[in-house]
Amino acid sequence: MSDTLTTPAALPLTQLNEDEQLFRSTVREFAQKSIGPLVRQMDEEQHFSADLLPQLFNLGLMGIEIPMEYNGSGGTFFEAILAVEEISAIDASVGVLVDVQNTLCVNAFLRWGTEQQKKTYLSRLATDTVGAYALSEAASGSDAFALQTRAELRGDHYILNGQKLWITNAKEADIFIIFATLDPAAGYKGITAFLVEKDSPGFSIGKKEDKLGIRASSTCELILEDCRVPAENVLGEPGKGYKIAIETLNEGRIGIGAQMLGLAQGAWNCAAKYAQERKQFGKPIAEFQAVQFSLAEMATDIEAARLLVYNAARLKDARLSYIREAAMAKYFASQVAERVASQAVEIYGGYGFVKDYPVEKYYRDAKIGKIYEGTSNMQLATIGKLVLSGK
């Protein structure tokens, strides 16, 4: 009984210890002062500001869980979630860059990398190198393992051929975790994860997508034409890529939940401030019960999403089962983000529909939460399977 009570998951979920409070306030201040002034320009130009990357690395936000022996921050998964939340409250485009780096790329290396791979890549990811995670293809979305990208062993190296689509961080990244199949007839048992450098022969970055939201985040296709990858750059073991993909995405879904949570909080902050400033019929609209009720519902939804996201992150840090909780966190937080952002636009009225004010961007950014790293339907399928099985 005592062991259970002392696990992080048993703490009040939104209660932060002193270190976590300091970390959150530091990230919040950075996001407001350094990211905030760039948000509109980055969105309009569909370009991630190069000036932000060194700052993210210098603050240790790109290698939060990387041990200090590899030049990382030596922090927790929960702290990574806090960082994604606080940054996304200002700009979800920056939030997803930090999220993919920490919850997908770094975690994949920590769990499946050899000691040499950790020495080679974790120190780079912690200090100056962005990572990307490449699973999706034209015919491989929710059916994640219907891969067409092929890998063939030739002596001491593999040759990769194929195309990856919708890859986040593609323009900024120098290291890519790419999934390919050694044998299509073997189904998921042929899938293997490879570490591919940006300057690898036969590797190139294709078209950057013109997106509805998170427009500063680069989303590109990757092209592999007889791409040569050293055999020692297999992550995990040949044929074990499916396990790496599934388990890493389970962690990543908590990160997307945090991104959507932060986005919802950012939209609420704007709406609440505006409601106290905007006057109609001689008084602030915040004094009208309809507006108060709307803000109250939004705040309640956000707090419920925060409890789900924090719970999943605490469980992960405590090394307890969290697959169901991760799916619930992503599903619910993405629903909340879209709903809250929509209500924020309505509170702004006509002003909410124009780009002079921030809430229309929150609304556009929210939509992706129901789609990437597992659609809402896929989350419901996971939740339904687990709750019906009694697990």
* pLDDT tens, position by position, 161-200: 999 999 999 999 999 999 999 998 888 899 999 999 999 9
> How many domains does the chain fold into?
3
| pLDDT reading at 8 higher than 60 | no
Same domain, 150 and 45: no
Three-state DSSP state, 361: helix
Domain that holds residue 174: 133-239
Please give the mean pLDDT across all residues of the chain. Answer: 95
| Whether this model's pTM surpasses 0.85 | yes
Q: What separation in angstroms does the CA of 133 have from each of 139, 176, 180, 244?
A: 17, 6, 12, 11
Domain boundary among 130, 150, 184: 130
At 195-242, the pLDDT tens digits run 999 999 999 999 999 999 999 999 999 999 999 999 999 999 999 999
CATH code for position 153: 2.40.110.10
CATH code for position 281: 1.20.140.10
Same domain, 198 and 262: no
The phi, psi pair for 37, rounded to 5°, reads -65, -15
Same domain, 247 and 379: yes
Q: What separation in angstroms does the CA of 197 have from each of 176, 234, 295?
A: 6, 12, 47
Same domain, 278 and 232: no
pLDDT band at 12 (very low <50, low <70, confident <90, very high): low
Same domain, 167 and 216: yes
Burial class (CB in 10 A: 0-12, 13-18, 19+), 283: exposed
Supply the residues annotated as catalytic: 373
B/e letters for 379-389, b = 16+ CB within 10 Å, e = fewer, are beebbeebeee
